[in-house]
Amino acid sequence: MKGKAKHVVGGGGEESMKYSNNNGGVAWSRGPLLGKGGFGSVYLASLKNPKSRNGYYPPVMAVKSAEVSASCSLQKEKEVFNCLNGCPFIIKCFGEETTRDRGGEMFYNVLLEYASGGTLAGLIKKSDGVGLPELDVKRYTRSILEGIHYIHSHGYVHCDLKPDNILLVSSSTKAGEFVAKIGDFGLAKKSEKRNKKRKFDPYLRGTTLYMAPETVANHVQEPPCDIWALGCVVLEMLTGKQAWDVKPDVTIEELMRKIGDGYELPKMPSEVSKDAKDFLKRCFVANPMFRFTAEMLLDEPFVSGVDLDGGEFVETSDAESVEWTDTLCGTDDEFSGSSFYEEWSFTSDEGSCFSPWSDDEEGITSNVDAMTHASRVEENAVQYLPTCTIPAGA
């Protein structure tokens, strides 16, 4: 047995679990529930002794847990973290442990960096539909973009970028400020562009409102789909409203048809700067062939001069990436012979690379309450936005 648990009582009468590792690992107490996702629950955790022979652990962490019998997705997420742990704009992973609760149930736990500022979604919600100051948006956007660039350069696609999955970590040098970091890699996948053969994925990963046209229309989820999602996040930060003007009675099928057609793009807000508009235009290009990459966007005036406080990049070994590729993408693939760009070229014609936006268009007036960040669909209407994998043809 790798670990055992002792029952303790936390502050305010809340029950928590104290876990200790028999192999010289870290002893930690599980505190309040921070949130639940499709692949596990996240708890606040405090450590009795931050230092152990296995390395350094911060005194407070977030622990993502799932029953061992249902932890396959969480274990895969941990493997992604292993490959991306050198980026200061991605939530740090400190390791993994297996524990047992009072009832004898085994749990798989991933120890993660704690984001004391909550999520970007929570910060946007506090703006009451007004949006964040543009200077803050620039800083957060630059951080997110650095993280995306690192993800893509290491051969991954996040597939579920949205404000809920952007976490705010307290700055180490500037009191009262937070650094935006990308988290939740439960739906991440290897980019197919690095493989000789394309493997057809029968599922759509992610949250509908942030999906790119090629994702909805053709089940293509490659690096450009993260750039589209980034545009949705930036637009939401600037305006306090979601990118698509969705009414409460709109069904998921109608929303997906609207996005997948590629004829309509999110509306350009009129109250933001020219640099912000130009940045959004580079993200919201219907044809992914002509959409800017993360590396290209880093040179855009909107973010190019932003001073970041995130720490240093640390190069990680590619060995884990190769092993992960072999695990997910076998060699018996039915698709072959087509290039990365050829696979996407059918999603729209060349004309679609030009944005229909004009600088005098009105700002977004979408009903924020029509879609929230919760994961629930009710009575065939888009009351809440699902984060899920959707089988083809469903």
Whole-angstrom distance between the N-terminal and C-terminal Cα of the chain?
42
Among residues of the chain, what percentage have pLDDT more than 70?
Answer: 68
Q: Are 37 and 51 in contact (CB under 8 A)?
A: no
When the pLDDT of each residue in the chain is averaged and rounded to a whole number, the result is 77
| Interhelix angle 274-283/223-239, nearest 10 degrees | 150
Please report, for the chain, how many H helices and E strands are present, in that order. Answer: 11, 15
Residues annotated as part of the active site: 160
pLDDT of res. 224: 98
pLDDT top residue among 42 and 192: 42
pLDDT of res. 54: 54
Domains of the chain by start residue, with CATH: 3-113 (3.30.200.20), 120-391 (1.10.510.10)
What's at 118, amino acid-wise? G
- For residue 203, pLDDT beyond 60: yes
pLDDT of res. 144: 98
pLDDT of res. 225: 98
- For residue 259, pLDDT beyond 80: yes
- For residue 250, pLDDT beyond 80: yes
Could you read off the pLDDT of 135-167 as tens digits, one per residue?
Answer: 999 999 999 999 999 999 999 999 999 999 999
Of the candidate ranges 95-109, 252-266, 299-313, 335-349, the one whose mean pLDDT is the lowest = 335-349
pLDDT of res. 386: 46
pLDDT of res. 315: 57
pLDDT of res. 193: 63
pLDDT of res. 50: 58
pLDDT of res. 312: 59
What is the pLDDT confidence band of residue 308, given thresholds at 50, 70 and 90?
A: confident
Strand partners, 8: 16
What is the pLDDT confidence band of residue 129, given thresholds at 50, 70 and 90?
A: very high
- For residue 14, pLDDT beyond 70: no
Which helix (H) or strand (E) segment holds residue 40: the answer is: strand 40-47
Exposure of 283 in the CB half-sphere (CA atoms within 13 A): 31
Residue 162 labelled as part of a binding site: no
Among residues of the chain, what percentage have pLDDT more than 90?
Answer: 54
pLDDT of res. 317: 47
β pairing state of 55-56 and 51-52 = antiparallel
Of the candidate ranges 156-170, 291-305, 338-352, the one whose mean pLDDT is the lowest = 338-352
Of the candidate ranges 12-21, 271-280, 329-338, the one whose mean pLDDT is the lowest = 329-338
pLDDT top residue among 312 and 304: 304
How far apart, in whole angstroms, are the C-alpha atoms of residue 166 and residue 180?
Answer: 6
pLDDT of res. 48: 74
- For residue 354, pLDDT beyond 90: no
Query: Closest Cα to residue 112, out of 171, 169, 172?
Result: 169
- For residue 249, pLDDT beyond 90: no
Burial of 101: CB neighbours in 10 Å, binned 0-12, 13-18, 19+: middle
Tell me the range of 130-134, 373-377, 384-388 where mean pLDDT is highest. 130-134
